[in-house]
Amino acid sequence: MELHTLEGQQIGQYKLLAWLGEGAHVHAYLARSAETGEYRVLKLLKSNLTSSEETLARFYREAQAALDLDHPNVVKVYGYDREGDLLYLVEEFYEGGSLMDRLKAHPGPQPLDFVLRTLEDIANGLDFAHQRGIIHRDLKPENILYNRQGRAALSDLGVTKYADEAEARSRQGLLFGNPNYMSPEEWQSRPIDARTDIYALGIILFEMLTGELPFEPTKTSSMMFVHLLHLVATPRSLLQLRPDLPPALEAVINKAIEKDPEQRYQTAGALAVDFKAALAGSTLNSLEGSEGEATVNANEAFGKTAERVAAQTTSAPEVVVVRRPLSPVLLAAFLAALLGLLYLWWRAQQSPETEEETYTPL
């Protein structure tokens, strides 16, 4: 069955009105309930993901977890069901579209009040999810949706993993997500946690403020080299692209996208608090050091003092080569990894890269 050709069909109480697109796991449809008349989004699990009992068990587990996420900044999942061979989720419909829609319709820097409002909404949603042991792992502009009033919410938490599952699967070397927003630890197949989402949020903020990405390579193979081989020490300078912004704002963004998770903001709320303070020219709420175990208290002191922030450099990105001596075993492993990356790079040049996600809510 071709999942993108089901317009007009009835699934359960829902009539499929329009195919919205597809993601890594699902095909999405705008649907209307025959019982209530309300509009919903139906996400149909791709058939290749329903072939094993393990996958089905994971789907039911994650769908049930999504039902428990009741927060104004998380897209509501109303239920899940099966009809024949079709497994599907029923989600809230957001009329305002996605952040990606906004970036395409209005390219370039976004209004600062819009950026701040989006950040505060998404930080609230992330902290709520993180407190419950759920990380998104695929945060990007397509997964930030707006309602009719312009409030933002996280989408696709229903197909994410609990933190312990994500860690286990990451250790197996499996890569998920859009390469432009993937953290260094994801590229390196290291354990991930809530700070992986904070990294992606920092990339999104940079993009909203400048209309560009902080790291110029856009091909998957290029991003792999950047993060695995540590070829780039710093992102592009926010202030070189936006000299009109407060200098402290660059330090906030750079902290959010630090390569070392320990050096990042430990909660999305803490990032939002410092971002707002930097915009207002106020003293930041952060203190130098590490929180240890992340909390969801957005006002908890963390990070750098205002004096440190003011002293942050705004120089252009530099290339840094790591020169630590390697043992023979580590050297052999490094060379093997390098050969693998060269092969992946060669393969990437042979054919155009395909977009991972084409789902754009109406």
Active site residues: 138
Q: What is the dihedral of CA 14, 16, 20, 22, to 10 degrees?
A: 80
Closest residue by Cα to residue 159 from 40, 73, 234, 75: 75
Report helix, strand or coil for 190: coil
Cα distance between residue 261 and residue 302, in whole Å? 14
Cα distance between residue 243 and residue 257, in whole Å? 20
Rg of the chain taking only CA atoms, in angstroms? 21
Cα distance between residue 86 and residue 81, in whole Å? 8
Which class for 152: exposed (0-12), middle (13-18), buried (19 or more C-beta within 10 A)? buried
Cα distance between residue 35 and residue 14, in whole Å? 8
Return the H-helix or E-strand segment holding 30.
strand 26-33
HEC-encoded secondary structure of 223-282: HHHHHHCCCECCCCCHHHHCCCCCHHHHHHHHHHCCCCHHHCCCCHHHHHHHHHHHHHCC
Beta strand 86-92 with 134-135 is: unpaired
> What are the tokens at 307?
């004096």
Name 33's bridge partners.
Answer: 14
Closest residue by Cα to residue 240 from 316, 163, 304: 316
Show the CA angle centred on residue 63, arms to residues 57 and 66, nearest 5°: 145
What Cα–Cα distance (Å) separates residue 293 from each residue in 37, 147, 199?
45, 33, 17
